[in-house]
Structure 1
Amino acid sequence: MKAKKNFLQGALFGALIMLCGTGVVSCGIRLSEDASSEEKLSVLKGLIDENYIGDVDEEALEEGIYKGYIQGLEDPYSVYYNEEETKDLYETTEGEYSGIGAVLSQDLESGVITLVQIYEDSPAAKAGLKDNDILTKVGDIEVTGMDLSEVVTYIKGEKGTDVDLTVLRGEDAEEITVTATRDTVEAQTVKYEMLEGQTGYLSVSEFDSVTYAQYEEALNELTAQGMTGLIVDLRNNPGGNLNTVCEMLDLVLPKGTIVYTEDKDGKRETATSDDEHQINVPMVVLVNGNSASASEIYAGAIQDYGIGKIVGTQTYGKGVVQQIFDLGDGTSVKLTIAEYFTPNGRSIDGEGITPDVEVEYEADENNPEADNQLEKALEVMKEEQ
């Protein structure tokens, strides 16, 4: 009986192996411990050529090597871009592209991607997408955890073409799939209006090449209307171009340091403001946990010079600078090259900017337009005016 039992156990185990369809097979190849990467890649290619049953895209294999090499840095901000991704990347930084008109933000710990802003009259808005929708799929591609820049390349595309997007909405995480028709979108990165008490309100959604001109126009228009105080809203602003935010700060800061960076060798580069322009009315800067990078440079400078109050919640804490390197063949790589510091020498990487007045956002179900953080900013402004 024991022998029979062992036989049955062996038969069941063998059947399980067959059902699973997996097994370990020795390939008869022995790499030395000091084998070069070229030798190992050659062995892997040989195994694929001889054994892999699927279709092989040699170009995709090569791209995978480059992407994996940069991913080995374990730096979420350093990325390799192929030709198509590089083209889309440069279009994005210019502020004009063929896409759907939505601002995306990603939580680095969970990999969750949120549509933090939908442009008015954009393809995204026409398709029914809303602020704070959680993006889960582009077409059939699961995007949670994927590099945000790569996700953007899937969303953008030729004008007139369609893209399906699946999102989770609301507390019940209702799954919704919509189809958006891509169109030429010029990022409307600045919105402004005059609020009560002649307080100017200026919202900046990102720092692109087009942002400076929009920001300068908004400041001039609000000033012409008799602005006696200014609220700059950087909530959900993921950052952008370092030069752009420095040019914008030069319009409001007194003469002095805007921000400085230090590279791996300790070499310092400093951006400064002149005394030609500076704000002469009280300021309040609104921030939250999605205010990152260039947004934190802006808020940090205003706070260090003491020319405005920071209101909201702790910012994201991205205090490092990336540079895009053109590899000469249409591809590129983005690498973290330096850490930045506020005028007073504060490093906020992993820490963020702590508001002078902390207030959590509280949604009002009875009044979707209500904004308790903005209301607090107006209260603070009244005290300063």
Structure 2
Amino acid sequence: MKKLALHWQILIGMALGVAWGMMASSFGLNSFTTDWISPFGTIFINLLKLIAVPLVLVSLITGVSSLSDISRLSRIGSKTIGIYLVTTVLAVTLGLILVNVFEPGKAFSPEKRDEFKEQFAGATTEKSSNAETVKQQGPLQPLVDIVPSNIFRSMTDNGSMLQVIFFALLFGIALILIPPDKAQPVNDFFEGVNMAILKIVDIIMMTAPYGVFALLAGLVVDFAGNDPSAAMELLLVLGYYCIVVAIGLALMIFVVYPALVLTVGKTKYGHFLRGIFPAQMLAFSTSSSAATLPVTMECSEKNLGINKEITSFVLPLGATINMDGTSLYQAVAAVFIAQAYGIDLDIMAQLGIVMTATLASIGAAAVPGAGTVMLVIVLQQAGIPVEGIALILAPDRILDMLRTTVNVTGDTTVAMMVARTEGQLHPPTEITVR
């Protein structure tokens, strides 16, 4: 019997996880789920995080050193960052258009707003405190943070991925500049390490369906508590806001990205979606672009035919600085909260949101919930009450899953565009998915 493809296994794991979570909430199995099932989801996430830094470090070094030409590296780098900024601004602008047209915040009653403020007071204070720390830093602090003082310390923290990328780029450039006979043994070493790391990724992905099941089961139990109807009621109250965000994210995946893939990538979008579907499903279940990175790279190379030289540079960079889904969500959430408080934002305030959300998305870590902290900075810049973040915390985990899927799709779209313009796209005749 033919083995079921990985993406179908992940989908089945997701469905069973949701079903188990609802059943556990109904029959009082919350503690059992939290103690005996949810930890396996944490283990799966830890395994993905474990391999993220080594994968980025080694793949970037091998990718950059293989270019053998500094001018080519500069061209690919500037092209990549330029396209990332354009797609991010498009996402923020789309979010602002939708939230101003549908005005979901005006559906909130003052009573419900006060109820949410009280319920999420603790979480709101924590997010505000974290954002205040970021805000008090100087204007050039993000640039300072990119350069590590100790690369080994940076490699112990997935949140320092930009520092790892900086070191890997510097190391790769150095390999290009030294004599080829001296560089070759080092290149061979990293090539071997890269193959070993990719094999570890294969091993980890064998556990993906079970890890996704545990993640979703734990998520549903945490959200619903002992009363599944409470979760349903909360979702209905915030449903309008969620729908607006979901529409924006759907437009990115089914309108904006197809236009880019078809016109620049010269590829049928159906082929593109089939190729990255496993990565999208993993992004949806983990809410982490960094954790999904190994699978995104594998799908891009094996299923879409993007040269490893491009994926090893563009995708790790994208997982760190390209957050189209997150920036769109920040635009919608900020105006939504303003509407709920009865605040009218003029065109200049909304242009400020575009700028702040774009820059905030670059600084957001590629881990679950990071976008929420950066949202506080967006709110403060626009003069919107930070306390209003309590209004959107309830459904944020679900929306985080959706926007991470958009983030990963956007990264792959840009990788395909860069690969096509560099003559490094050679689509396989058939998509093979494990």
Say whether the fold is shared (TM-score over 0.5): no
| Structure showing greater Rg | 1
Higher strand share: 1
TM-score normalized by the length of structure 2:
0.20
Higher RCO structure (Cα 8 Å, ≥6 apart): 2
